[in-house]
Structure 1
Amino acid sequence: MSGARAAADPGDPAPCSAEQVSITVAGPEAAVGHRAVTLVFAAAPGVVACTLSGYPQVEAGTGASLVAAQPTLRGYMGGLPNGADAFPTVTLSPSQRGESVVEALSVDADAESCPTAADLRVVLPGATDAQTVTTEIASCQLQVHPVTQVTIQPGSTT
């Protein structure tokens, strides 16, 4: 399911390019048959501000065995709040980050453990260059949720 983009103010910063963004991973997290990691998007050193809106493209695994994450507005472990159908425009700056939850089932339909992927290949919304981040996540019914805003509180190191 896709969502609409929220209207942008003409004074908003330009969309982020891959070179302007550092991607890290928080997690993993687990809940009743589900596993998730959170992709954290931060402005690279020297970047004043840029924006993201929509879904990152995410593939789990390496080489020919890549599993593409299905874009979904919300899931069991994250995503947009109920009733929200427009992608927020997320500003990355020294005081603001973005995040996107990637989740999967931990067991398949036969109650067998799902394969674990050790890498995620991530392409920012609207971009073409991929960055690879190392993490571990199950790869059954892999989903990715839209980027949402995170504001860093003064004095916080996260």
Structure 2
Amino acid sequence: MNRLAVGVALVVGAVVVGAAGCSTSNPPSTSAASKSSAVPTTGPTAVATSSNAAANPPSSGGSPGAPDSGGSPGSGNGSPDTPTATDTPIPECSNGQVAVSAAPMTPNKTHSGVQLEFASVGGVSCRMIGYPGVDLLTMYGQPVHAQRTLRGFMGGQPDTFPTPLPVVVKPGHPAHAVLEGSSLQDDGRPCPIAKTILVTPPDLTDTHTLQNDAYLCDMQIHPTGP
């Protein structure tokens, strides 16, 4: 009887241990499902996006190679495509826009000169180039035409320039030209002196009458300059 009781007890114990082992090695599927549903599906995606954003922060200046807010070349201030005040051409001088005066120059040996001045009238700038037209009147009222030459003993165009240069006549900044001649004739006698000079600015038709002395021998007029 005792042996039978002991045998039954051993069998029951074995069944209980086996049941407990099965429960430990095979957890309920609901627990795994519960763990799976507890992990948010958006977690990995959000983490990856945040990581990429940290590694590659957005640039406020735009993508590499794209033009910045200053604009493409040629579209900013002062570019060749933008008209400015310096792009406006200065017009040529016209009749009535230039006042003419003259002043004697210091003689140099047998050479004497008169400096002609061309000033702006009305505060407007204009452009001129070339030779003034100059005639000197003898005591009998006969005109003597001054020969046009680039340079002479008293002044004129610099040697480095083979042709007359344009000059801008601005308010307060007149243009000038040198009229020069010889105080002696070819035979050594004193040269007659003119009392009146007729001056016409380059490329204009209005003639200005000036009361200035100038020698009549070998008279030359040089181009206008600053």
Sort the TM-score into its range (normalised by shorter chain).
0.7 to 0.9
Q: Distance in 2 between matches of 1:88 and 1:130?
A: 22
**Aligned residue for 2:130?**
54
Please say if 1:95 is aligned against 2:172. yes
Larger Rg: 2
Tell me by how many angstroms 1:12 deviates. Answer: 2.8
Aligned pair 1:41/2:118, yes or no? yes
* Counterpart residue number, 2:143: 66
Give aligned pairs, total.
140
Which ranges of 4 or more aligned residues in structure 1 deviate by more than 6 Å? Answer: none
More helix by share: 2
Question: Equivalents in 1 of 2:89, 2:183: separation in Å?
Answer: 40
CA distance, structure 1, for counterparts of residue 153 and residue 95 of structure 2:
29
Distance 1:31 1:48 in 2: 36
**In structure 1, C-alpha distance between the alignment counterparts of 2:210 and 2:89, rounded to whole Å:** 28
Q: CA RMSD in A?
A: 1.7
Q: Does 1:121 align with 2:198?
A: yes
Gaps of at least 5 residues in structure 1 are 1-8, 150-158
Larger strand proportion of the pair: 1
Compute the TM-score of the two structures, normalised by the length of structure 2: 0.59
Q: 1:75 aligns with which of 141, 152, 173?
A: 152
In the alignment, the residues of structure 1 paired with residue 203 and residue 87 of structure 2 have an alpha-carbon distance, to the nearest angstrom, of: 18
Gaps of 5+ in 2: 1-85
**Which whole-Å CA distance do the structure 2 matches of 1:114 and 1:39 have between them?**
21
Secondary structure class of the residue paired with 2:96: helix
Out of 59-68 and 48-57, give the one that drifted further.
Answer: 59-68
Say which SS state the counterpart of residue 18 (structure 1) adopts: coil
The CA distance in 2 between the partners of 1:133 and 1:12, in whole Å, is 32
Provide the secondary structure at the position in 1 that maps to 2:105. Answer: strand
Matched residues, percent identical? Answer: 34
Question: Which aligned pairs between 1:15-30 and structure 2 lie closer than 5 A?
Answer: 15-30=92-107
Quote how far apart the aligned CAs of 1:64 are: 4.6
Distance in 2, matches of 1:28 and 1:40, equals: 12
The equivalent residue for 2:188 is: 111
Give the superposition deviation at 1:94: 1.1
In structure 1, how many angstroms separate the alpha carbons of the residues matched to 2:106 and 2:94?
A: 28
Tell me the TM-score normalized by structure 1: 0.83
Q: Structure 1 residues 64, 133: CA separation in 2 closer, same or farther (over 3 Å shift)? A: closer
The letter of the residue matching 2:181 is A
The higher-RCO structure (CA 8 Å, 6+ apart) is 1
- CA deviations 1:66-117 (Å, max 9, x no partner) are 1000000000001011121132211111132100000001101110111100
